[in-house]
Structures are given as C-alpha cells and as structure tokens.
C-alpha cells in the first residue's frame, strides 16, 4: 500500500462553539446542509451539543486538506486558505455511523488531477455506488476498494474522535 498524504487536526470544542455562536460568524456557512443536519441529529440523539459534532467534522476537513497538501509535494496548491471551498469537502457518517469524506465540485475535479500524478489513471466516473450520499462526480472515502475505482484515485481514509474538550481527526490518502 502506498500512502500519498497524512493529515491530522485537533479542535478545541469550547472555542469552536464560541466561533459558531459569535454574531456575524460565517463558520456555519463552511458546512454543507447535510453536515449541519447530521450534526444536529447526532447531538439530539446523544443529548450533547451540536458544536462537538461540528468540531469533529471541521477537524476532518482540515486533516483532509493537510493530507492533500502533503500528497501534492512540491506542486502548486490548487487553492489557498482564503479561497478553499470548504463546503465541497463534506464529512458525513454513513448509516452505520462510519465517517467518510465526500468531495464535489471544483475540489473533486482538482483532486482527480492529483490522481494522475500519483500514478493512477483518470476516469470520469469517480463516485461510490455504495454510499448513501454519492452524487455523480462525487469522490467519497474509505468504504471503497481500489477495484471500485479501477486504481484511478487514492482512497481517503478518515478517523474522527472527540473526548471532553478536544475533537480530533486523522486522514490518510492511500491506495
């Protein structure tokens, strides 16, 4: 197995909750409707705060970006922190509660270009037919074997955790 990139991020849940609640904050706009809905539902079921679940998703987004930047190596980054389309990187749980990274839009297109440089062959159909959330053109994470993509893209592996005041995520891009 080849690993192309590894990213890790931690988020202070209390500070993140303050950012979400701050008047005029745009933090919520960095999440998709599906992410917000899923975090609210999980908070309701677990009887805890929505910020805990959004903080873990945010850590996942940041960890993905770090892994992708490592995989790019010396090549130019397709985005800066100021123009990165955060909503196009979704961290969503499947029906079993397993987290996955979903890429869409310009992020999915830019990520596809990376795959050519990682030794894979580019394909137009890069979606996971097993996912509850996949749309045409989406790239999804770790529930897919390489044979599902005919070796065309690195698989996005993600692990999320939160304990007390800290949320954490690790992302690996591998084949």
Which residues contribute to the annotated binding site for Mg(2+)? 9, 62
Handedness of CA 51, 55, 58, 64 (dihedral sign): negative
Task: List all residues 6 or more positions away from 26 whose beta carbon is below 8 Å from its beta carbon.
Answer: none
**Token pair belonging to 163:** 């304990």
Task: Kindly write down the DSSP assignment for every residue of 74-123, as one continuous string.
Answer: TSPPS--TTT--GGGEEEEE-TTS-EEEEE-HHHHHHHHHHHHHTTPPP-
Separation of alpha carbons 13 and 11, rounded Å: 6
Task: Kindly write down the DSSP assignment for every residue of 21-34, as one continuous string.
Answer: HSTT--GGGGS-HH
Of 143, 162, 146, give the one whose Cα is nearest residue 154: 146
Binding-site residues, in ranges, read: 9, 62
**Token pair belonging to 101:** 């990274």
């Amino acid at each position: 197995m080849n690993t192309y990139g590894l990213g890790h991020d931690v988020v202070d849940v209390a500070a993140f909750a303050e950012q979400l609640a701050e008047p005029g904050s745009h933090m919520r706009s960095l999440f998709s409707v599906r992410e917000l809905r899923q975090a609210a539902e999980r908070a309701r079921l677990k009887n805890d705060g929505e910020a805990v679940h959004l903080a873990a998703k945010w850590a996942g987004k940041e960890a993905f970006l770090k892994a992708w930047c490592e995989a790019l190596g010396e090549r130019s980054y397709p985005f800066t922190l100021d123009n990165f389309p955060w909503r196009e990187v979704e961290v969503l749980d499947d029906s079993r509660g397993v987290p996955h990274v979903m890429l869409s839009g310009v992020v999915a297109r830019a990520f596809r270009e990376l795959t050519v440089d990682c030794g894979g062959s580019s394909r137009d159909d890069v979606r996971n037919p097993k996912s509850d959330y996949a749309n045409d053109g989406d790239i999804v994470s770790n529930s897919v074997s390489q044979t599902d993509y005919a070796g065309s893209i690195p698989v996005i592996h993600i692990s999320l955790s939160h304990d007390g005041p800290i949320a954490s995520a690790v992302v690996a891009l591998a084949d």
